[in-house]
Structure 1
């Protein structure tokens, strides 16, 4: 059981780090870069990025992370690693609601509305569209970034609390 738990814990770490890093990159580079562009160019770029993110590489980290975390919690509980199991479980719940549900409820509808914007726009309208989109999108992205950062931290603490291989407690 210890080997299974360790393996799942490492997969949990990898997936949690991937999704946190994805959201974090939007916070500290992508959106700031788009805000420096002409609004019509920013809109076109955001439309293209939103269309491209729906792929088989992104999907496992985005949709799978909460469920892998919850499965890791179950394996940890069965291995009598209560504290780590609880941390993995809490991370799974936060990942589900602070990552997946938040994204599907807020960011995706905003992205779908932006996808309906046909370019080029008349003078001044692109500025208005981007000014109404970017700050709100960035606020909600920051919230999901903080949530997934907390998830990553919880996974790290859960891993640190597991007994090391070869310890008497691991037997």
Structure 2
């Protein structure tokens, strides 16, 4: 297991960076762009993006991040790299609670409601739907982004500690 510790640690870092980047892109561009256009188009575009995100490229980052972090924590603990193990374990717990669970409990159900909502022809009715959706969705996405940034930082710190830490330290 010790020989796999560094590769799995770097995989954890890669996946943590990928999921942080995914959530961050929604914060700093995608949602602002959708908020700036005709709400009828924004609703249709959001539904299209939500439908397309369930794919083999996204799945490893979203589902694999906590798995890789937990495996890395176990391998680090087994190798006597206690501080690193703590960092990877805490990163996994943060991700599961603050990003994965938030996605499953809040963002995905909101996406399903939006998908099931008929897009009205009336722009004011569409604006009311979009405004009600976008603000709340963005609040929870910002939470996922901040948590994922913390996960990335902890993972990076864990990788750094692997290089600095001696077994049993």
TM range (shorter): over 0.9
1:69: Cα distance to partner?
0.2
State how far apart, in whole Å, the 2-side matches of 1:133 and 1:119 are: 13
**Which TM-score applies when normalising by structure 1?**
0.93
Cross-structure match for 1:21: 21
Secondary structure at 2:151 match in 1: helix
Confirm whether residue 7 of structure 1 aligns to residue 7 of structure 2: yes
Secondary structure at 2:118 match in 1: coil
State how far apart, in whole Å, the 2-side matches of 1:23 and 1:163 are: 29
Q: 1 or 2 for the larger relative contact order (CA 8 Å, sep ≥6)?
A: 2
1:64: Cα distance to partner?
1.3
1:3: Cα distance to partner?
2.9
Aligned residue pairs total 167
1:67-120 deviation digits (Å, cap 9, x = unpaired)? 110110000000000000000000001111111111000000000000012234
Unaligned stretches of 5+ residues in structure 2: none
Which residues in structure 2 correspond to 1:123-162 (within 5 Å)?
123-162=123-162
**Which TM-score applies when normalising by structure 2?**
0.94
CA RMSD of aligned residues (A): 1.4
State how far apart, in whole Å, the 1-side matches of 2:122 and 2:130 are: 13
State how far apart, in whole Å, the 2-side matches of 1:92 and 1:40 are: 38
